[in-house]
Amino acid sequence: MTRFVCLLLLVMLLSFTYAAITPTSPLSIGQTLSSSDGVYELGFFSPNNTQNQYVGIWFKGIVPRVVVWVANREKPVTDSTANLAINSKGSLLLFSGKDGIVWSSGETFASNGSHAELSDSGNLIVVGKVSGRTIWQSFDHLGDTLLHSSYLAYNLVTGEKRVLTSWKSYTDPSPGDFVGEITPQVPSQGFIMRGLRPYWRSGPWAKTRFTGVPLMDESYTSTFSLHQDVNGSGYLSFFQRNYKISRIILTPEGSMKIFRYNGTNWELYYEAPLANSCYIYGVCGPFGLCVSSVPPKCKCFKGFVPKSIEEWKRGNWTSGCVRRTELLCQGNSTGEDVNVFHPVANIKPPDSYEFANSLNAEECYQSCFHNCSCLAFSYISGIGCLVWNHDLMDAVQFSAGGELLSIRLASSELDGNKRKKTIVASTVSLTLFVILGLASFGFWRCRLEDNAHILKDAWRNELKPQDVPGLDFFEMNTIQTATNNFSLSNKLGQGGFGSVYKGKLQDGKEIAVKRLSSSSGQGKEEFMNEIVLISKLQHRNLVRILGCCIEGEERLLIYEFMLNKSLDTFIFGRFETKQQAWETWGENGGTDLLDQGVAYSCRPLEVERCVHIGLLCVQHQPADRPNTLELLSMLTTTSDLPSPKQPTFVAQTRNEEFMAMGLTTVSKMTDSVILGR
């Protein structure tokens, strides 16, 4: 009895699972054809259990079913007697008892006896009996899915095109609105088309990556391979290492998604376009730049203004931008006062580029400079030189990654930046000066801590005038007289380690006295370090220490009184300067701060990092500024940096005397600024 049951099951299995479709053994509803490795399966299926039946290929044994190819996408069958057969000429035919031939693979003119089988790559192939070669394959007629061994392709000679076409809906496999393809441009790029209009663009291919996909930086292990030849053909394939089962699907909504199967579930590896308007083709129009931020926003390239101000105010940016100053370029003019090139960093290269044969970045620049039709150029690793002779369309600026794009402008567009560059460069220089001073302070403090093994009160006798040249020791009664015994009327403000008073010595010299409180927490090392450090920092914008007074528990530091504003005013007090620097950094990573004569000899990433650190050091809130150890790490490593906050305009009432001691009153709140302590 047991043997009979096993034999019956075996017969049933053989009757429902086919190894091949032959002229004498068609595939009927309820029967399937499997690949030899058991990964793929061909058969009839019905989306959402409707009456419509389709012939398709899916992953065998994975629930829910994932269909990767459909034969009769536009013509479902509803007859239960339908079957898929192969005729004597090697053509696959889908028969319906009601409608006759519903779908055909087309004529092949093969010899009698050809058969159809499902390969281990998920490709339905028709094999000739005599030749043994493939005479038809489903990979030549893609649906909405790309598998490991299938590929997108074009052939300019034959006119052949292999594209992905989305389903109309998740339950209707008929062709939808979106088509995925690669272009015959050199280098090629990927497109998702919505009808005849571009919907999304990958950016040009650069050996292992698409330049318009931020995920694909130079460290990215590419899953794609793109080849182009001189005969006008090209193809794109993909392969997920360590994942036997993976797929790319073009969804009914127009998204390109990469899925990989981990044995239990499908993992979404990549998706484009994302739910971000910057990824929709041409959202900012010609010469518009979409900034990939939250929320995304459109702006014009430098030297351009919105074509329609009213439309832009309403959030409709598709009209784009127009040049503010027309170019004065005739023939092969080489006058540097006529045109200049403005570099913009972190850019997805615009559409409608042309490949130029240039050996290096300098040749790329020269070829564009001497061609008045050339509006922009970019020298990209893995590609070489690209130039643009038409409107810059579909440009995106990423927060990181992307390419450096140089745009031709009238020289007058950059003249107005000279004063800005001077101001910002000065700010950055002074900021770096303060950073180095703070770094020196940190190292000096560490050295002093190693030797701090003395009695609690012995520090009073260790500081000698010769240790700090020019340092005076003041008597307590002298300071009391100068400050009217630390009168409240002479008090300038309250700092983190005590109070500050204004005073006048007998010779008429005005001084500022910092009276350290016993509860300040400042110990011997800090007190001695402040005297030594401030005495060694000599700068016209830094307050100068005159001496100290040590008597009993009193510890006083005496500074010169500065009538002019402190370094804080220059570094932290100018909103316009910080705003200009922040905008320049946001536009091109700070490369706009460079003189055009040296712009191409500098590394944009290094410039961007220097400006980035400078902006962090002049944040409005002290808590947002890096401390000494963080600054040392920023300057000596390539670690990720936090994003600087946009400068905030704050109405401030500043007392000149308060500023002299580094005390700032803002809305009745006291904030200590840079001053040695």
- Pairing of the two strands 510-516 and 189-194: unpaired
Roughly what angle, to the nearest 10 degrees, separates helices 575-588 and 604-617?
150
CA dist 540 to 105, 108, 537, 639, Å? 85, 89, 10, 34
Q: Where do we find the tokens 């093969």? A: 110
Burial class (CB in 10 A: 0-12, 13-18, 19+), 569: middle
Q: How many CB atoms lie within 10 A of CB 587?
A: 21
Annotated binding site: 514
Roughly what angle, to the nearest 10 degrees, separates helices 575-588 and 418-450?
100
For the chain, the distance separating the N- and C-terminal CA atoms, rounded to the nearest angstrom, is 98
Annotated binding site for ATP: 514
Which candidate, 425, 426, 430, 445, places its Cα nearest to that of 676? 445
Secondary structure string (H, E, C) spanning 591-602: HHHCCCCCHHHC
Which candidate, 45, 92, 97, places its Cα nearest to that of 67? 45
Instruction: Find out whether 533 and 441 touch, Cβ atoms under 8 Å.
Output: yes
Sign of CA dihedral 381, 382, 386, 391: negative
Q: For residue 41, which phi and psi values (nearest 5 degrees)?
A: -145, 140
Please give the structure tokens belonging to residue 594: 């460079």
Q: Give CA–CA dist 16/121, Å, rounded.
A: 22
Convert 189-215 to b/e letters by CB count within 10 Å (16 or more is b). Answer: bbbbbbeeebbbbbbbbbeebbbbbbe
Please give the structure tokens belonging to residue 173: 């496999």
Q: How many CB atoms lie within 10 A of CB 570?
A: 17
